Amino acid sequence: GENVEQHPSTLSVQEGDSAVIKCTYSDSASNYFPWYKQELGKRPQLIIDIRSNVGEKKDQRIAVTLNKTAKHFSLHITETQPEDSAVYFCAASSGGGTSYGKLTFGQGTILTVHP
């Protein structure tokens, strides 16, 4: 089955700096890669996603890049703000067959943005 590795496990930055979180996946059939933000005591919220036919996607201060050959994808947050502090999870999904609908999550990155 799919295996997703996420690094780093913790990331501390100053307000205004950029933050980068990286994930690698094992199943070349995976074709959908979402990123979720989870604040303490709250639900995971989808912040951005990318499909395998796209190399990069951007939404204001957040961007995701995908390298299908190397099987890795990254989340980039620019001009970080204290409210960006949360746990971020990457995930991969292959869709189709018996794995349909299954998201495999990375272990999470605790991002702390210091004012």
Partner 1 sequence: DTEVTQTPKHLVMGMTNKKSLKCEQHMGHRAMYWYKQKAKKPPELMFVYSYEKLSINESVPSRFSPECPNSSLLNLHLHALQPEDSALYLCASSQVAPAGGQEQYFGPGTRLTVT
Binding site for partner 1 (CB under 8 A): 31-32, 34, 36, 42-46, 49, 51-52, 87, 89, 91, 93-96, 98-103, 105-108
- The alpha carbon of residue 22 and the mean position of all alpha carbons in its chain are separated, in whole angstroms, by 7
Closer residue to partner 1, CB minimum distance, 76 or 102 = 102
Shortest approach of partner 1 to residue 79 CB, angstroms? 25
Q: How far apart are CA 103 and CA 93, in angstroms?
A: 5
d(CA 112, CA 17): 11
Nearer to partner 1, 18 or 45 (CB): 45
